[in-house]
Amino acid sequence: MDMSVQEFMNSINNKSTKKGYRFGLNKFVKWYGKSADEILRLRKEDLTQRSGENLIDYKNRAVRFQKEIEKYHSYLLESGYSINSARNLTLGIRQLFRFYQMPITTRIGSDVSRTVQTSRNFPLTIEHVRKMFKVANLKERVIMSLAVDLGLRISDFLSIKKTDLPDLDGEAPLAFDLLTQKEKITAKCFLSQESVDLLKTYLPTIQKKKNNVFLFASNGRAHVSDESVGKMLKKLAAKAQINLNGKSLTFHCFRKMFLSASIDSGVGLTAGKLMCGKAVRQSDSTYLTVVKLKEKFIQLKKFLSINEEVKIETEKIETFEKTINYLQEQLTSQKIVSEAVAKKNLELESRMEELTKGHLSLQESVDKMMETFDSSFKDLVKVSIKTISDVEKKEK
């Protein structure tokens, strides 16, 4: 079987990954003192047992490059490379062997695979983005605005095609899906109104590049490189007089800011991951529909609005909405009280009518009694007068 480094490189689709592997592989070749093709041939021979060779000698030869890669890793550390950089620089030779089904087995406890968490990335905030936005040109503003909205990896971001965009005449935020390259996960993306407005201005300026399908096209048929985006960010930071304090400002800082804001805004890490194309458990994603994600994106943009005027206007609208809601609550309360008072009045009126009717009935009874009394009294008087008259007649 013919083996070549070029065939291995052609198998790698991600440009950033390819660049990293090539750099590390070239460094290993220079350190080892043999060409990559010679190294491949040696690795193949090491894994082929020779005639009459005992098993011990064969196994010792088979682990030769495991030991050589460990020596190379130690050399990198001694040369001043960090633990993470030293590991990354061994990936080229290790992946080359793996590609040709001759993988290296790393010893348990080996430093080759060891990594440490670093804090070299600049802690980007929306305030920093606003400062860079003020000194940026149209294309740079579009890149930053979309970076804030989407939170994608740079490989996925630069791969966005003009045809991937939703209809910009719809009502923002506009939803659209993007399939990520690394994890093959669909990112549930949204475009804010400020990004939509910028795109409407930007798209006519790239119409002359009809043969290039990418939103951020290079002079050829590819998209701009991640290196050029990195240089753009550093230039804008310097122009905006942002002190990086020795930290590294990269496109990945936007992704970190997006996920951090997802937590700080109350949107939640799961929703943030779904929107920026990061893996989540299936059980967590089931309950987050596009409608709910849209609501969460609107909430997130309250923390990640580049245009301060838009942010102020949003705050005014929110205050106005809160006032309206308060007045509506007060009106509802007053309505409930009014209805209760009206009901009570009706009850009192009904009671008064009953009492009035009762009063009339009592009055009628009293009148009848008075009539009976008057009649009886008159009859009694008549009888008394007659009786007295009869007595007087008898005495005479």
Question: What pLDDT, in 10s, does the model give residues 146-172?
Answer: 999 999 999 999 999 999 999 999 999
Q: Verify that 82 and 182 share a domain, yes or no.
A: no
Asked if 139 and 203 touch (Cβ cutoff 8 Å), the reply is no
Q: Verify that 331 and 367 share a domain, yes or no.
A: yes
Quote the crossing angle between the two packed helices 126-134 and 226-239, to the nearest 10°.
80
pLDDT at 316 over 60: no
The answer to whether residue 224 sits within a structural domain is yes
Domain boundary among 60, 90, 113: 113
Domain boundary among 306, 338, 354: 306
Burial of 102 (0-12, 13-18, 19+ CB in 10 A): middle
Q: Verify that 145 and 230 share a domain, yes or no.
A: yes
pLDDT at 8 over 70: yes
Instruction: Please list the helix, strand and coil fractions of the chain in percent, rounded to the nearest 5, in that order.
Output: 65, 5, 30
Provide mean pLDDT across the span 320-348. Answer: 71
Extract the tokens encoding 26.
Answer: 């070239």
Asked if 299 and 266 touch (Cβ cutoff 8 Å), the reply is yes
Q: How many domains does the chain fold into?
A: 3
Q: Verify that 27 and 76 share a domain, yes or no.
A: yes
% of the chain beyond a pLDDT of 70 = 84
Q: What residue numbers bound the domain in which 395 lies?
A: 324-396
Q: Which H helix or E strand runs over 3?
A: none
Measured distance CA(69)–CA(91) in Å, rounded: 10
Q: Verify that 132 and 163 share a domain, yes or no.
A: yes
DSSP code for 205: G
pLDDT for residue 315: 45
Mean pLDDT of the chain: 86
Extract the tokens encoding 326.
Answer: 């308060």
Measured distance CA(303)–CA(125) in Å, rounded: 10
Confidence of residue 130 (pLDDT cuts 50, 70, 90): very high
Q: Does residue 123 have a cis bond before it (omega within 30 degrees)?
A: no
pLDDT at 379 over 70: no
pTM exceeding 0.85: no
